[in-house]
Structure 1
Amino acid sequence: MALNTGDRRDIGISFEFFPPKSEEMEGQLWKTVAELQDWDPDFVSVTYGAGGTTKAPTLTAVTRFLNETPLATASHLTCVGATKEETHQVIDHFRKAGVKHFVALRGDAPGGAGVPYQPHPGGYANAAELVAGLREIGDFEISVSAYPEKHPESRDVAADIDMLKRKADSGADRALTQFFFDNDNFERYLEKVRAAGVKIPIVPGIMPIQNLTQLKRFASACGTVIPAFLDERFAGLDDKVEERAKVSVDVAVEQIEDLVRRGLDEFHLYTMNRSPLVSAVLTNLGLRREGAKRAAGAAA
């Protein structure tokens, strides 16, 4: 299924990156960015650790994105473990660096998974309050999170959707979902979201699978269900790198194609700071690199 007709792109894409923690990881990040920027994403986002633990590396990465690439760049922003004044100082740092788009998140409890979340005294209690605060401070573009399979700490799906509605009502422009693999479940979730009066775009998060075993550990912490069909698709491929990569690409392409048939036209890809699978997915979808088109035009 080719999603392109001539030079018209039928879907919107965005990419997520995380700030590097070592010199080697930094090289990997910028190599990945160089290889992915020609896909002309609508925007890219850079993650931000719980309690501001990666504020400095996030600011460094975001500043380099803004200064050295043509990419519209959003910074993640959390409010856990900080007063409102401290959060405002962070926002001011990022705004001075040129950030006009935030992905506003509550953030994980500093103690890690299983530790109950406690709002900081004098801080924003949740992401809905953070969105409202951002709206008061400036005319930012604001994305938020959504959880098709429920946030691990939410009482139930209804409570989760109520929080999403509060974020939308506070001024969020779109919601980017946690990654998922069950499109039927996502469609049921989207129907409930719309029935609750949430009108902002709900952008599916797509995770090309780098390593299924590692993904399962990550998924267990964030509440994502790993369907049995993935075990079947990847069975016997642990030591077959090329075959495993092909299956990873096929799974992501099939998921996106199915979501397009269901009426979705924007997708947020979790890159894990690696380009090969992401590029292969976009190529197999029929998208074209903008850089390749520009080069072809210059040579004509």
Structure 2
Amino acid sequence: MAAITPDRKIIDILNEKKAAGVKTCLSLEYFPPRTEEGVKNLYARMDRMKGALSPLFTDMTWGAGGSTADLSLELALHAQKTGHVSNLHMTCTNIQAKEGEEDVDPKKAIHDALQAALDGGIRNIVALRGDPPAGEEEWKASEGGFACALDLVKYMREHFGQEFGISVAGYPEGHPNAISEVADPSTLTEAEKARSSSFDGKTYCCLDADYKKEMDYLKEKVDAGSDLIITQMFFDVEVFKTFVKDCRKWGINCPVVPGLMCINAYGGFKKMTKFCKTRVPADLDAKMDSIKDDAAAVKEFGVEFGVKVCQDLMDSGLIEVLHFYTLNLEKVVYGILDQLKLSDNALALVNEKDAASMVAKGSAWARVGDEVTCEHGKGVVDELLPDGSAVIVISGKDDKVTMAKGAYQKVF
């Protein structure tokens, strides 16, 4: 088996490990922090986690609307230079013009970013459509840019050949945009019921006809040159198993990597699952509600639940990699992998004193109704403005304040 060096493609390493009889590998995903202190702390955490876990590859996300393009590339290049097999997310969304620049040509901006990644030794890209920029509720293609992830995959293969290994996203429950509210849940088919979700007394589902479109589109992305699929988060393992089996029915035969969202905090769990309309099994929902006021208990349960999910996935024989959305934290990931015997007392290395600095730059999660904090105190977002500013109703007061993007933070 060839040496695992940072300039290799994930799919090649994975194929070699599979041929050598290695059953389960792991990978880690991080996001660009908002502050310089956060970046410094993330570098230290990435070094610790690489030493403790030897991940197969390391993902770096690309902020909503291209908002972290430069920093994402910088962080991914740092990872590559420090021995990680770096897997850089890249989206079709517009890259914002720098101060003093005219409007950016979106295709040229993406091309330049890809070339910079290649020149820096990065050989792996996650091709995504992307989330809408802050202040916008719907995703819109940039004028003259790519309309979808498929366009980006095709462009990369046309202009860069086989220089990059390409990953694409898969959605076991359907893309959030393809999930709709169901007026009468009794009309759902058995397949629809199995991937449906419920929030605030309403039922949501990617209906069979829309799910078929999702799978047809995924097949197009793979046929266009994608090497592997990394899934959206899920909390019901049966939904993932069905998705992998459906992939094979559609003739999608590449590896399907499960995206595992670590449960670190009650608020974050609730907001992310509601935003993505993620299916949450009733027993999981009840357990989270029962411990919501005990932060330590939530993390402890996050480990317990993560172990169960990972063991179920490994026992299924359907996976080769466990991919952890770390949320730039380490305790829950270490706890899970220590109990699975995939790491050796990694928990002894935990240092989350800097957790407060791990706030995402350009986060797309702030939405109307979210609780945030700013210099005026805690409040709730009443309105999001096109420039990313938020009108916030301050708790305990009748006052509304307008805060610029970056001057308020979500409360998780």
Q: TM-score, normalised by structure 2?
A: 0.64
Alignment of 1:42 with 2:66, yes or no, is no
After alignment, is 22-31 or 127-136 more displaced? Answer: 22-31
Q: For residues 170 and 135 of structure 2, what CA distance do their matches in structure 1 show? A: 20
Give the match's secondary structure for 1:179: coil
Alignment of 1:150 with 2:174, yes or no, is yes
Which residue of 1 is the match for residue 147 of structure 2? 125
Judging changes above 3 Å, is the alpha-carbon distance between structure 1 residues 119 and 23 closer, same or farther for their aligned structure 2 residues? closer
Q: For residues 295 and 91 of structure 2, what CA distance do their matches in structure 1 show? A: 36
Q: Answer yes or no: is the 8 Å Cα contact 1:48–1:55 preserved in 2.
A: yes
* Equivalences for residues 52-71 of structure 1 within 5 A: 52-67=66-81, 69-71=82-84
Q: For residues 255 and 218 of structure 1, what CA distance do their matches in structure 2 show? A: 18
Judging changes above 3 Å, is the alpha-carbon distance between structure 1 residues 12 and 109 closer, same or farther for their aligned structure 2 residues? same
Which residue of 1 is the match for residue 133 of structure 2? 110
Which residue of 1 is the match for residue 282 of structure 2? 228
Query: Number of matched residues?
Result: 282
Shift, 1:113, TM fit: 6.3
Q: For residues 263 and 153 of structure 2, what CA distance do their matches in structure 1 show? A: 31
Q: Answer yes or no: is the 8 Å Cα contact 2:263–2:298 preserved in 1.
A: no
Supply the AA of the counterpart residue of 1:266: V
Which residue of 1 is the match for residue 408 of structure 2? none
Alignment of 1:269 with 2:324, yes or no, is yes
Give the match's secondary structure for 1:153: helix
Q: For residues 336 and 345 of structure 2, what CA distance do their matches in structure 1 show? A: 16
Which residue of 2 is the match for residue 294 of structure 1? none
Q: For residues 28 and 61 of structure 1, what CA distance do their matches in structure 2 show? A: 12
Gaps of 5+ in 2: 1-20, 95-104, 180-209, 347-412
Q: For residues 153 and 159 of structure 1, what CA distance do their matches in structure 2 show? A: 12
Give the match's secondary structure for 1:57: helix
Q: Answer yes or no: is the 8 Å Cα contact 1:148–1:180 preserved in 2.
A: yes
Q: Answer yes or no: is the 8 Å Cα contact 2:215–2:250 preserved in 1.
A: yes
Judging changes above 3 Å, is the alpha-carbon distance between structure 1 residues 289 and 70 closer, same or farther for their aligned structure 2 residues? farther
Pick the structure with greater CA Rg: 2
1:134 aligns with one of 156, 172, 182: 156
Share of identical aligned residues, percent? 33
Shift, 1:56, TM fit: 1.2
Q: Answer yes or no: is the 8 Å Cα contact 2:234–2:260 preserved in 1.
A: yes
Give the match's secondary structure for 1:256: helix
Which residue of 2 is the match for residue 4 of structure 1? none
Q: For residues 153 and 277 of structure 1, what CA distance do their matches in structure 2 show? A: 30
Gaps of 5+ in 1: 1-7, 292-300
* Equivalences for residues 185-224 of structure 1 within 5 A: 185-224=239-278
Q: Answer yes or no: is the 8 Å Cα contact 1:113–1:221 preserved in 2.
A: no
Q: Deviations over 1:208-237 (max 9, x none)?
A: 101122212112222322222223323442
Which residue of 1 is the match for residue 362 of structure 2? none
Q: Considering Cα pairs closer than 8 Å and 6+ residues apart, tell me whether 1 or 2 has the greater RCO.
A: 1
Supply the AA of the counterpart residue of 1:194: R
Q: For residues 257 and 110 of structure 2, what CA distance do their matches in structure 1 show? A: 26
Judging changes above 3 Å, is the alpha-carbon distance between structure 1 residues 158 and 111 closer, same or farther for their aligned structure 2 residues? farther
Which residue of 2 is the match for residue 97 of structure 1? 120
Supply the AA of the counterpart residue of 2:267: T
After alignment, is 37-46 or 213-222 more displaced? Answer: 213-222
Give the match's secondary structure for 1:24: helix
Judging changes above 3 Å, is the alpha-carbon distance between structure 1 residues 119 and 244 closer, same or farther for their aligned structure 2 residues? closer
Which residue of 2 is the match for residue 174 of structure 1? 228
Shift, 1:125, TM fit: 1.6
Shift, 1:199, TM fit: 1.0
Q: Answer yes or no: is the 8 Å Cα contact 1:150–1:223 preserved in 2.
A: no
Give the match's secondary structure for 2:177: coil
Which residue of 2 is the match for residue 22 of structure 1? 35
Alignment of 1:247 with 2:247, yes or no, is no
Q: Answer yes or no: is the 8 Å Cα contact 1:9–1:287 preserved in 2.
A: no
Judging changes above 3 Å, is the alpha-carbon distance between structure 1 residues 216 and 243 closer, same or farther for their aligned structure 2 residues? closer
Q: For residues 249 and 121 of structure 2, what CA distance do their matches in structure 1 show? A: 37
Q: TM-score, normalised by structure 1?
A: 0.87
Q: Deviations over 1:46-78 (max 9, x none)?
A: 0001332101111221121122x2111111101
Q: Answer yes or no: is the 8 Å Cα contact 1:151–1:223 preserved in 2.
A: no
Shift, 1:130, TM fit: 0.6
Q: Which has the higher helix share?
A: 1
Which residue of 2 is the match for residue 296 of structure 1? none
Shift, 1:86, TM fit: 2.4
Supply the AA of the counterpart residue of 2:268: Q
